[in-house]
Amino acid sequence: MRGLPAGVCLGVSVGETSVPGTLRVISDDNFPPYLFRDADGKQTGYLVDLWALWSRKTGVPVQLTATNWAEAQARLLQGDADVIDMIYRTPSREPLYDFSAPYADLPVSIYSHTSISGIQDVSTLHGFQIGVQQGNACVDELLRHGIQSLKYYRNYAELIGAAKNQEIKLFCLDESPANFYLYQLHAQEAYRKAFQLYQGQFHRAVRKGNWQRWRSSKTG
């Protein structure tokens, strides 16, 4: 992960005139170690600390909401949030968002059940059903390669739970949460990383056309 100095990594400039008000940030609630919920349901992770630091540095209050990823995207586009965090930049999202510079590189991989052999690149996925999270950039990447037999799950924990029960035997997942949930759900012995599909990058984003207005009105 790259360095995260307040004001630079968030795509904003410390020193601009701020307007009183709360910056509403929304993101995924199941992407450990960046943002997820602990055993008590409390938001935790790097982004909780990072946005708290940014708020202290700028004087701008921040309301950070962690929720289902597909819902997070919908709420940003509906105007219920100002900024979405941890979003990958993809062709299908270009018409919808203005993006910050990337701030972290994250490998995204295909995982296969140990009973399946020969899964070594994207061409070997044809004919298999692949588990994916709703709203995940992995969907775009698989469809781009002509992989259309996808089974959708609300979040990563549900996806890996289904894999553990062998409802699916292949799934696409970012490596950090994959490692976390495979071990948490005691499925690490049954699944292995088959290959890296691509490398994603975290950005922050606002609704298309709102970037300059956000910069000028919500920064400190």
Q: Is the peptide bond before 177 cis (omega within 30 degrees of 0)?
A: no
What pLDDT was estimated at residue 58? 92
CATH number given to 107-200: 3.40.190.10
Mean pLDDT of 20-36: 93
pLDDT > 70 in the chain, percent = 87
pLDDT in tens, 31-77: 999 999 999 999 999 999 999 999 999 999 999 999 999 999 999 99
Residue 213: pLDDT band with limits 50, 70, 90:
low
Torsion sign across C-alpha atoms 48, 53, 56, 62: negative
pTM of the model: 0.86
Domains 23-104+201-218 and 107-200 fall in the same CATH topology? yes
Would you list the domain boundaries of the chain? 23-104+201-218, 107-200
Chain-centre distance for alpha carbon 59: 27
Report the distance separating Cα 131 and Cα 168, nearest Å.
6
Instruction: Give domain 23-104+201-218's CATH number out of 2.60.40.2130, 1.20.140.10, 3.40.190.10, 2.30.42.10.
Output: 3.40.190.10
| Contact call for residues 158 and 70 (beta carbons, < 8 A) | no
Instruction: Look at residue 216 and tell me whether its pLDDT is greater than 70.
Output: no
What pLDDT was estimated at residue 13? 39
What pLDDT was estimated at residue 215? 63
Which segments within 30-169 are labelled E, that is strand? 30-31, 35-37, 43-44, 62-67, 83-87, 97-99, 104-113, 130-133, 150-153
- Cα end-to-end distance, the chain, whole Å: 25
pLDDT in tens, 81-115: 999 999 999 999 999 999 999 999 999 999 999 99
Q: Which secondary-structure segment (H or E) carries 161?
A: helix 156-164
